Amino acid sequence: MEGYSSIEEAAALVQSGQRIFGHGSACTPNIFYSALAKRARELENVELVSITQQGPVEIANPEYAGSFHIRSLFTSEPVRKAVNGENGDYVPIFLSGIPHLFRNGILPLDVAVVTVSPPDEHGYCTLGTSIDCAQTAVHTAKTAIAIVNPNMPRTYGDSAVHKSRFAKMVWHDAPLITLDYGAKVTDVERKIGQNVAEIIDDKATLQMGIGTIPDAVLKSLSNHKGLGIHTEMLSDGVIDLIEKGVVTNAHKGFNNYKTVTSFSFGTKKLYDFLHNNPIVSFYNVELVNSPAMILRNKRMHAINSAVEVDLTGQVCADSIGTYQFSGIGGQMDFMTGAAYSEGGKPIIAISSRTNKGIPRIVPVLNPGAGVVTTRGHVHYVVTEYGTVNLFGKGLKERAKALISIAHPDDREALTKAAYERFKVSNL
Protein backbone atom coordinates (compact mmCIF):
# COMPACT_ATOMS: atom_id res chain seq x y z
CA MET A 1 0.00 0.00 0.00
CA GLU A 2 1.08 3.54 -0.66
CA GLY A 3 3.06 5.07 2.17
CA TYR A 4 3.95 1.75 3.74
CA SER A 5 7.26 -0.13 3.71
CA SER A 6 7.82 -3.77 2.88
CA ILE A 7 8.58 -6.17 5.72
CA GLU A 8 12.04 -6.65 4.24
CA GLU A 9 12.72 -2.91 4.42
CA ALA A 10 11.63 -2.86 8.04
CA ALA A 11 13.71 -5.90 8.99
CA ALA A 12 16.75 -4.30 7.31
CA LEU A 13 16.88 -1.75 10.14
CA VAL A 14 18.07 -4.42 12.59
CA GLN A 15 21.83 -4.74 12.93
CA SER A 16 24.10 -7.29 14.63
CA GLY A 17 24.49 -6.84 18.37
CA GLN A 18 21.21 -4.98 18.80
CA ARG A 19 18.48 -5.66 21.32
CA ILE A 20 14.94 -5.71 19.92
CA PHE A 21 11.62 -5.72 21.74
CA GLY A 22 8.82 -7.86 20.34
CA HIS A 23 5.18 -7.12 21.09
CA GLY A 24 3.38 -9.95 22.93
CA SER A 25 0.32 -12.21 22.91
CA ALA A 26 -2.08 -11.48 20.01
CA CYS A 27 0.32 -8.75 18.83
CA THR A 28 3.34 -11.05 18.39
CA PRO A 29 5.03 -9.81 15.15
CA ASN A 30 5.80 -13.18 13.59
CA ILE A 31 5.94 -11.74 10.07
CA PHE A 32 8.85 -9.58 11.27
CA TYR A 33 10.61 -12.54 12.92
CA SER A 34 10.35 -14.53 9.68
CA ALA A 35 11.89 -11.64 7.76
CA LEU A 36 14.73 -11.49 10.29
CA ALA A 37 15.27 -15.25 9.98
CA LYS A 38 15.99 -14.78 6.28
CA ARG A 39 18.85 -12.50 7.30
CA ALA A 40 20.29 -14.97 9.81
CA ARG A 41 23.55 -15.49 7.92
CA GLU A 42 24.38 -11.79 8.01
CA LEU A 43 23.30 -11.18 11.63
CA GLU A 44 24.82 -12.24 14.93
CA ASN A 45 24.02 -11.68 18.57
CA VAL A 46 20.65 -10.02 17.97
CA GLU A 47 18.68 -10.29 21.21
CA LEU A 48 14.88 -10.54 21.37
CA VAL A 49 13.36 -9.23 24.61
CA SER A 50 9.69 -9.98 25.16
CA ILE A 51 6.95 -11.22 27.43
CA THR A 52 4.42 -13.85 26.26
CA GLN A 53 5.02 -14.74 22.62
CA GLN A 54 2.53 -16.62 20.46
CA GLY A 55 2.73 -18.27 17.05
CA PRO A 56 5.84 -19.70 15.36
CA VAL A 57 8.49 -17.14 16.55
CA GLU A 58 10.88 -18.48 13.91
CA ILE A 59 14.04 -16.82 15.26
CA ALA A 60 13.72 -18.91 18.46
CA ASN A 61 14.41 -22.10 16.49
CA PRO A 62 17.70 -23.89 17.33
CA GLU A 63 19.13 -23.45 13.82
CA TYR A 64 19.33 -19.70 14.41
CA ALA A 65 21.46 -19.90 17.57
CA GLY A 66 24.33 -17.46 17.23
CA SER A 67 22.26 -15.14 15.09
CA PHE A 68 19.50 -14.62 17.65
CA HIS A 69 19.28 -14.89 21.42
CA ILE A 70 15.96 -15.02 23.33
CA ARG A 71 15.75 -13.06 26.59
CA SER A 72 12.32 -13.90 27.98
CA LEU A 73 10.63 -11.81 30.66
CA PHE A 74 7.69 -14.24 30.71
CA THR A 75 8.21 -17.58 28.97
CA SER A 76 5.60 -19.10 26.68
CA GLU A 77 5.49 -22.22 24.52
CA PRO A 78 7.16 -20.88 21.33
CA VAL A 79 10.33 -19.83 23.18
CA ARG A 80 10.54 -22.42 25.99
CA LYS A 81 13.03 -24.62 24.17
CA ALA A 82 15.33 -21.68 23.55
CA VAL A 83 14.99 -20.34 27.10
CA ASN A 84 15.79 -23.74 28.59
CA GLY A 85 18.62 -24.30 26.09
CA GLU A 86 21.74 -22.55 24.91
CA ASN A 87 20.27 -19.69 22.87
CA GLY A 88 17.97 -18.17 25.47
CA ASP A 89 17.52 -17.11 29.07
CA TYR A 90 14.79 -16.08 31.49
CA VAL A 91 14.73 -12.92 33.60
CA PRO A 92 12.77 -13.33 36.86
CA ILE A 93 10.85 -10.08 37.31
CA PHE A 94 7.46 -8.80 38.36
CA LEU A 95 5.55 -7.66 35.30
CA SER A 96 5.15 -4.25 36.89
CA GLY A 97 8.93 -3.85 36.94
CA ILE A 98 9.59 -4.43 33.24
CA PRO A 99 9.05 -0.82 32.07
CA HIS A 100 11.71 0.22 34.60
CA LEU A 101 14.22 -2.02 32.80
CA PHE A 102 13.63 -0.17 29.52
CA ARG A 103 13.28 3.36 30.84
CA ASN A 104 16.32 3.30 33.11
CA GLY A 105 18.78 1.66 30.73
CA ILE A 106 19.03 -1.71 32.50
CA LEU A 107 17.83 -3.33 29.28
CA PRO A 108 18.11 -0.48 26.75
CA LEU A 109 16.27 -1.16 23.51
CA ASP A 110 17.62 -0.50 20.04
CA VAL A 111 14.46 -1.48 18.17
CA ALA A 112 10.84 -1.97 19.26
CA VAL A 113 8.50 -3.88 16.92
CA VAL A 114 4.81 -3.55 17.70
CA THR A 115 1.54 -4.48 16.02
CA VAL A 116 -0.91 -1.57 15.88
CA SER A 117 -4.31 -0.56 14.57
CA PRO A 118 -4.31 1.71 11.48
CA PRO A 119 -3.80 5.44 12.05
CA ASP A 120 -6.95 7.50 12.57
CA GLU A 121 -7.65 10.90 11.00
CA HIS A 122 -5.27 12.47 13.51
CA GLY A 123 -2.44 10.07 12.71
CA TYR A 124 -2.75 8.01 15.88
CA CYS A 125 -2.48 4.23 15.90
CA THR A 126 -3.21 2.21 19.05
CA LEU A 127 -1.28 -0.66 20.61
CA GLY A 128 -4.50 -2.65 20.43
CA THR A 129 -4.77 -5.67 22.68
CA SER A 130 -1.42 -5.33 24.46
CA ILE A 131 -0.29 -2.11 26.10
CA ASP A 132 1.51 -3.88 29.02
CA CYS A 133 5.23 -3.01 28.69
CA ALA A 134 4.94 -2.25 24.95
CA GLN A 135 3.98 1.36 25.62
CA THR A 136 7.29 1.99 27.39
CA ALA A 137 9.22 -0.03 24.81
CA VAL A 138 7.90 1.89 21.82
CA HIS A 139 8.70 5.25 23.42
CA THR A 140 12.17 4.40 24.75
CA ALA A 141 13.65 2.35 21.88
CA LYS A 142 16.01 4.15 19.53
CA THR A 143 13.94 2.90 16.58
CA ALA A 144 10.29 1.86 16.49
CA ILE A 145 8.67 -0.26 13.77
CA ALA A 146 4.92 -0.76 13.34
CA ILE A 147 3.15 -3.74 11.84
CA VAL A 148 -0.18 -2.14 10.94
CA ASN A 149 -3.00 -4.67 11.03
CA PRO A 150 -6.56 -3.57 10.20
CA ASN A 151 -7.85 -6.45 12.35
CA MET A 152 -6.26 -4.99 15.48
CA PRO A 153 -8.94 -3.32 17.60
CA ARG A 154 -8.62 0.35 18.47
CA THR A 155 -8.43 0.47 22.23
CA TYR A 156 -8.82 3.19 24.86
CA GLY A 157 -6.62 4.29 27.74
CA ASP A 158 -2.88 4.85 27.19
CA SER A 159 -2.89 2.98 23.90
CA ALA A 160 -2.31 5.74 21.33
CA VAL A 161 0.98 6.16 19.45
CA HIS A 162 1.38 8.72 16.68
CA LYS A 163 2.55 7.39 13.33
CA SER A 164 5.48 9.83 13.37
CA ARG A 165 7.07 7.70 16.08
CA PHE A 166 7.68 4.87 13.62
CA ALA A 167 10.72 4.68 11.37
CA LYS A 168 8.91 2.10 9.22
CA MET A 169 5.26 1.07 8.98
CA VAL A 170 4.32 -2.25 7.32
CA TRP A 171 0.75 -3.01 6.28
CA HIS A 172 -0.19 -6.58 7.23
CA ASP A 173 -3.82 -7.67 6.92
CA ALA A 174 -4.04 -10.99 8.77
CA PRO A 175 -6.23 -12.55 11.48
CA LEU A 176 -5.00 -11.96 15.01
CA ILE A 177 -3.69 -14.87 17.04
CA THR A 178 -6.51 -16.31 19.15
CA LEU A 179 -6.87 -18.56 22.17
CA ASP A 180 -10.03 -20.15 23.55
CA TYR A 181 -9.61 -21.39 27.11
CA GLY A 182 -13.35 -21.81 27.51
CA ALA A 183 -13.34 -24.81 25.17
CA LYS A 184 -10.76 -26.58 27.36
CA VAL A 185 -12.41 -26.32 30.79
CA THR A 186 -12.80 -29.71 32.54
CA ASP A 187 -15.30 -30.83 35.18
CA VAL A 188 -12.58 -30.53 37.82
CA GLU A 189 -11.93 -26.94 36.80
CA ARG A 190 -15.64 -26.15 36.81
CA LYS A 191 -15.81 -27.36 40.41
CA ILE A 192 -12.82 -25.18 41.30
CA GLY A 193 -14.57 -22.26 39.65
CA GLN A 194 -17.66 -22.88 41.77
CA ASN A 195 -15.58 -23.11 44.95
CA VAL A 196 -13.82 -19.84 44.17
CA ALA A 197 -17.12 -18.15 43.33
CA GLU A 198 -18.41 -19.02 46.81
CA ILE A 199 -15.77 -16.81 48.45
CA ILE A 200 -16.10 -13.91 46.02
CA ASP A 201 -18.15 -11.12 47.53
CA ASP A 202 -20.72 -9.01 45.73
CA LYS A 203 -19.20 -5.66 44.71
CA ALA A 204 -15.73 -7.24 44.61
CA THR A 205 -13.10 -6.02 42.15
CA LEU A 206 -11.53 -8.93 40.29
CA GLN A 207 -8.15 -9.79 38.87
CA MET A 208 -7.97 -13.04 36.94
CA GLY A 209 -4.85 -14.83 35.85
CA ILE A 210 -4.58 -16.71 32.57
CA GLY A 211 -5.84 -20.21 31.88
CA THR A 212 -8.80 -22.56 32.18
CA ILE A 213 -9.33 -22.11 35.93
CA PRO A 214 -9.80 -18.32 35.72
CA ASP A 215 -12.20 -18.90 32.83
CA ALA A 216 -14.12 -21.42 34.95
CA VAL A 217 -14.32 -18.89 37.79
CA LEU A 218 -15.79 -16.24 35.49
CA LYS A 219 -18.42 -18.69 34.27
CA SER A 220 -19.48 -19.28 37.89
CA LEU A 221 -20.16 -15.62 38.71
CA SER A 222 -23.43 -15.02 36.85
CA ASN A 223 -25.41 -14.66 40.10
CA HIS A 224 -23.07 -12.08 41.62
CA LYS A 225 -23.86 -8.37 41.72
CA GLY A 226 -21.90 -5.17 41.19
CA LEU A 227 -18.53 -6.69 40.33
CA GLY A 228 -15.62 -4.67 39.01
CA ILE A 229 -12.54 -5.53 36.94
CA HIS A 230 -8.96 -4.39 37.52
CA THR A 231 -6.79 -7.06 35.95
CA GLU A 232 -3.47 -7.59 34.26
CA MET A 233 -5.06 -9.71 31.53
CA LEU A 234 -8.58 -9.60 30.12
CA SER A 235 -10.16 -12.73 28.61
CA ASP A 236 -13.42 -13.74 26.92
CA GLY A 237 -15.10 -14.63 30.20
CA VAL A 238 -15.71 -10.99 31.12
CA ILE A 239 -17.87 -10.29 28.07
CA ASP A 240 -20.97 -12.12 29.27
CA LEU A 241 -20.58 -10.69 32.79
CA ILE A 242 -20.46 -7.15 31.43
CA GLU A 243 -23.35 -7.67 29.03
CA LYS A 244 -25.49 -9.28 31.77
CA GLY A 245 -24.81 -6.42 34.15
CA VAL A 246 -22.90 -8.58 36.64
CA VAL A 247 -19.83 -6.42 36.09
CA THR A 248 -20.74 -2.77 36.54
CA ASN A 249 -17.47 -1.36 37.94
CA ALA A 250 -19.64 0.93 40.08
CA HIS A 251 -18.18 -0.04 43.47
CA LYS A 252 -14.45 -0.21 42.87
CA GLY A 253 -13.62 3.04 44.60
CA PHE A 254 -10.90 3.64 42.02
CA ASN A 255 -11.42 3.99 38.26
CA ASN A 256 -15.13 3.47 38.72
CA TYR A 257 -17.22 2.52 35.68
CA LYS A 258 -14.13 1.35 33.80
CA THR A 259 -12.87 -2.17 33.18
CA VAL A 260 -9.13 -1.71 33.65
CA THR A 261 -6.53 -3.98 32.09
CA SER A 262 -3.03 -4.08 30.65
CA PHE A 263 -3.49 -6.61 27.87
CA SER A 264 -6.07 -9.03 26.51
CA PHE A 265 -5.87 -12.39 24.83
CA GLY A 266 -8.70 -14.59 23.63
CA THR A 267 -11.00 -15.18 20.68
CA LYS A 268 -12.13 -12.93 17.84
CA LYS A 269 -15.28 -12.29 19.86
CA LEU A 270 -13.13 -10.60 22.51
CA TYR A 271 -11.23 -8.50 19.99
CA ASP A 272 -14.48 -7.37 18.37
CA PHE A 273 -15.83 -6.48 21.83
CA LEU A 274 -12.76 -4.34 22.56
CA HIS A 275 -12.80 -2.39 19.29
CA ASN A 276 -13.71 1.26 19.97
CA ASN A 277 -15.16 0.25 23.34
CA PRO A 278 -14.75 3.13 25.80
CA ILE A 279 -15.70 1.12 28.90
CA VAL A 280 -12.42 -0.86 28.68
CA SER A 281 -9.26 1.10 29.47
CA PHE A 282 -5.78 -0.26 28.75
CA TYR A 283 -2.88 1.11 30.78
CA ASN A 284 0.84 0.54 31.18
CA VAL A 285 1.53 -2.53 33.29
CA GLU A 286 3.56 -0.52 35.80
CA LEU A 287 0.29 1.26 36.68
CA VAL A 288 -2.18 -1.64 36.38
CA ASN A 289 0.07 -4.00 38.36
CA SER A 290 1.33 -1.52 40.93
CA PRO A 291 0.29 -2.85 44.36
CA ALA A 292 -0.20 0.76 45.44
CA MET A 293 -2.78 1.18 42.66
CA ILE A 294 -4.34 -2.26 43.11
CA LEU A 295 -5.07 -1.77 46.80
CA ARG A 296 -7.05 1.40 46.02
CA ASN A 297 -9.78 -0.88 44.67
CA LYS A 298 -12.20 -1.95 47.37
CA ARG A 299 -12.70 -5.67 47.96
CA MET A 300 -9.89 -6.53 45.54
CA HIS A 301 -10.02 -10.28 44.83
CA ALA A 302 -6.94 -11.62 43.04
CA ILE A 303 -7.40 -15.10 41.56
CA ASN A 304 -4.30 -16.88 40.26
CA SER A 305 -3.16 -20.41 39.60
CA ALA A 306 0.04 -22.33 40.28
CA VAL A 307 2.13 -25.35 39.40
CA GLU A 308 2.36 -26.65 42.97
CA VAL A 309 1.96 -25.62 46.61
CA ASP A 310 3.98 -27.14 49.45
CA LEU A 311 2.61 -27.94 52.91
CA THR A 312 3.83 -24.63 54.35
CA GLY A 313 2.09 -22.57 51.63
CA GLN A 314 4.97 -21.79 49.29
CA VAL A 315 3.59 -21.33 45.77
CA CYS A 316 5.53 -22.28 42.66
CA ALA A 317 3.90 -20.75 39.59
CA ASP A 318 6.63 -20.26 37.00
CA SER A 319 8.64 -23.48 36.69
CA ILE A 320 8.37 -27.26 36.75
CA GLY A 321 11.34 -28.05 38.91
CA THR A 322 14.26 -26.42 37.13
CA TYR A 323 12.40 -26.25 33.80
CA GLN A 324 11.33 -22.69 33.07
CA PHE A 325 7.69 -22.86 32.06
CA SER A 326 6.25 -19.34 32.36
CA GLY A 327 7.15 -16.40 34.58
CA ILE A 328 6.50 -14.46 37.75
CA GLY A 329 4.18 -12.19 35.81
CA GLY A 330 1.72 -10.24 37.92
CA GLN A 331 0.84 -12.85 40.52
CA MET A 332 2.76 -11.25 43.39
CA ASP A 333 1.76 -7.74 42.31
CA PHE A 334 -1.90 -8.66 42.71
CA MET A 335 -1.55 -11.00 45.69
CA THR A 336 0.11 -8.14 47.56
CA GLY A 337 -2.36 -5.50 46.39
CA ALA A 338 -5.37 -7.66 47.23
CA ALA A 339 -4.00 -8.45 50.71
CA TYR A 340 -3.88 -4.74 51.57
CA SER A 341 -7.12 -3.78 49.84
CA GLU A 342 -10.11 -3.04 52.07
CA GLY A 343 -12.00 -6.35 52.12
CA GLY A 344 -9.54 -7.90 49.65
CA LYS A 345 -8.84 -11.60 49.12
CA PRO A 346 -5.69 -13.08 47.53
CA ILE A 347 -6.64 -16.50 46.10
CA ILE A 348 -4.57 -19.35 44.64
CA ALA A 349 -6.79 -21.78 42.71
CA ILE A 350 -5.34 -25.12 41.58
CA SER A 351 -6.49 -28.61 40.71
CA SER A 352 -5.39 -31.17 43.29
CA ARG A 353 -3.57 -33.09 40.56
CA THR A 354 -2.32 -32.42 37.05
CA ASN A 355 -4.06 -34.05 34.09
CA LYS A 356 -1.33 -36.71 34.32
CA GLY A 357 -2.19 -37.49 37.93
CA ILE A 358 0.76 -35.69 39.52
CA PRO A 359 -0.08 -34.10 42.90
CA ARG A 360 -0.05 -30.30 43.06
CA ILE A 361 -0.13 -30.14 46.86
CA VAL A 362 3.25 -31.58 47.84
CA PRO A 363 5.37 -32.04 50.99
CA VAL A 364 8.13 -29.83 49.54
CA LEU A 365 8.48 -28.09 46.19
CA ASN A 366 10.37 -29.90 43.45
CA PRO A 367 14.14 -29.20 43.50
CA GLY A 368 14.79 -26.00 41.58
CA ALA A 369 11.17 -24.85 41.66
CA GLY A 370 10.73 -21.10 41.73
CA VAL A 371 8.78 -19.60 44.62
CA VAL A 372 6.53 -16.91 43.13
CA THR A 373 4.18 -16.32 46.06
CA THR A 374 5.89 -16.79 49.41
CA ARG A 375 4.27 -18.48 52.36
CA GLY A 376 4.18 -15.06 54.00
CA HIS A 377 1.91 -13.75 51.23
CA VAL A 378 -0.41 -16.70 50.66
CA HIS A 379 -4.00 -16.46 51.93
CA TYR A 380 -6.70 -18.58 50.28
CA VAL A 381 -5.93 -21.84 48.49
CA VAL A 382 -8.74 -23.51 46.55
CA THR A 383 -8.98 -26.93 44.88
CA GLU A 384 -11.91 -28.97 43.66
CA TYR A 385 -12.08 -30.42 47.21
CA GLY A 386 -12.57 -27.17 49.05
CA THR A 387 -11.13 -23.89 50.28
CA VAL A 388 -8.71 -23.05 53.09
CA ASN A 389 -7.32 -19.77 54.38
CA LEU A 390 -3.69 -20.08 55.49
CA PHE A 391 -3.25 -16.47 56.61
CA GLY A 392 -2.24 -16.30 60.27
CA LYS A 393 -1.85 -20.08 60.58
CA GLY A 394 1.27 -21.88 61.79
CA LEU A 395 3.16 -24.40 59.68
CA LYS A 396 1.45 -27.40 61.28
CA GLU A 397 -1.98 -25.79 60.89
CA ARG A 398 -1.20 -25.01 57.25
CA ALA A 399 -0.19 -28.59 56.58
CA LYS A 400 -3.43 -29.89 58.09
CA ALA A 401 -5.52 -27.43 56.10
CA LEU A 402 -3.81 -28.15 52.77
CA ILE A 403 -4.04 -31.92 53.28
CA SER A 404 -7.80 -31.51 53.69
CA ILE A 405 -8.15 -30.12 50.14
CA ALA A 406 -5.57 -32.40 48.49
CA HIS A 407 -6.63 -35.32 46.31
CA PRO A 408 -8.00 -38.05 48.61
CA ASP A 409 -5.47 -40.54 47.26
CA ASP A 410 -2.62 -38.21 48.21
CA ARG A 411 -3.67 -37.41 51.76
CA GLU A 412 -2.11 -40.44 53.47
CA ALA A 413 1.32 -39.75 51.97
CA LEU A 414 1.03 -36.05 52.77
CA THR A 415 0.04 -36.82 56.36
CA LYS A 416 3.05 -39.10 56.73
CA ALA A 417 5.35 -36.44 55.28
CA ALA A 418 3.86 -33.84 57.65
CA TYR A 419 4.46 -36.14 60.64
CA GLU A 420 8.07 -36.74 59.63
CA ARG A 421 8.62 -33.00 59.35
CA PHE A 422 6.67 -31.67 62.31
CA LYS A 423 6.57 -34.75 64.61
CA VAL A 424 2.87 -34.21 65.23
CA SER A 425 0.50 -37.15 64.85
CA ASN A 426 -2.88 -35.40 65.04
CA LEU A 427 -2.80 -33.57 61.73
Q: Which of 123, 142, 171 is the last residue of a domain?
A: 171
Say yes or no: 392 and 359 in one domain: yes
269 part of a folded domain: yes
Percent of the chain whose pLDDT exceeds 90? 95
Q: How far is CA 363 from CA 66, 78, 356, in A?
A: 41, 32, 19
Say yes or no: 100 and 220 in one domain: no
Indicate which residues carry an active-site annotation. 232
Which range of residues forms the domain containing residue 342?
187-422
Q: Is residue 3 over pLDDT 90?
A: no
State how far the Cα of 221 lies from the Cα of 362, in Å rounded to an integer.
30
The predicted model scores a pTM of 0.96
Q: Which of 124, 141, 171 is the last residue of a domain?
A: 171
Residues 106-128 have pLDDT tens digits of 999 999 999 999 999 999 999 99
What pLDDT does residue 345 have?
98
- The number of folded domains in the chain is 2
* CATH of residue 142: 3.40.1080.10
181 part of a folded domain: no
What pLDDT does residue 272 have?
98
Cα dihedral 387→393→397→403 (10° resolution): 30
Say yes or no: 414 and 301 in one domain: yes
Say yes or no: 234 and 375 in one domain: yes
Query: Per-residue pLDDT averaged across 298-303, rounded?
Result: 98
Q: Sign of dihedral through CA atoms 224, 229, 230, 233?
A: positive
Confidence of residue 16 (pLDDT cuts 50, 70, 90): very high
What pLDDT does residue 2 have?
78
Least confident of 10-24, 122-136, 211-225, 322-336: 211-225
Say yes or no: 162 and 289 in one domain: no
Residues 262-279 have pLDDT tens digits of 999 999 999 999 999 999
Say yes or no: 93 and 235 in one domain: no
177 part of a folded domain: no
Q: Is residue 211 over pLDDT 90?
A: no
Q: Are 398 and 292 in contact (CB under 8 A)?
A: no
What pLDDT does residue 238 have?
95
67 part of a folded domain: yes
Q: How many CB atoms lie within 10 A of CB 53?
A: 28
Q: How many CB atoms lie within 10 A of CB 167?
A: 14
Say yes or no: 119 and 152 in one domain: yes
The DSSP result for 250-318, as a single string, is -S-SSSTT-EEEEEE---HHHHHHHTT-TTEEE--HHHHT-HHHHTTSTTEEEEE--SEEETT--EE-S
Q: Sign of dihedral through CA atoms 280, 281, 285, 289?
A: negative
Residues 85-99 have pLDDT tens digits of 999 999 999 999 999
Query: Per-residue pLDDT averaged across 115-144, rounded?
Result: 98
58 part of a folded domain: yes
* CATH of residue 299: 3.40.1080.20
What pLDDT does residue 163 have?
98
Q: Which of 118, 147, 171 is the last residue of a domain?
A: 171
Mean pLDDT, all residues of the chain: 97
What pLDDT does residue 165 have?
98
Say yes or no: 26 and 159 in one domain: yes
Say yes or no: 162 and 251 in one domain: no
Say yes or no: 193 and 155 in one domain: no
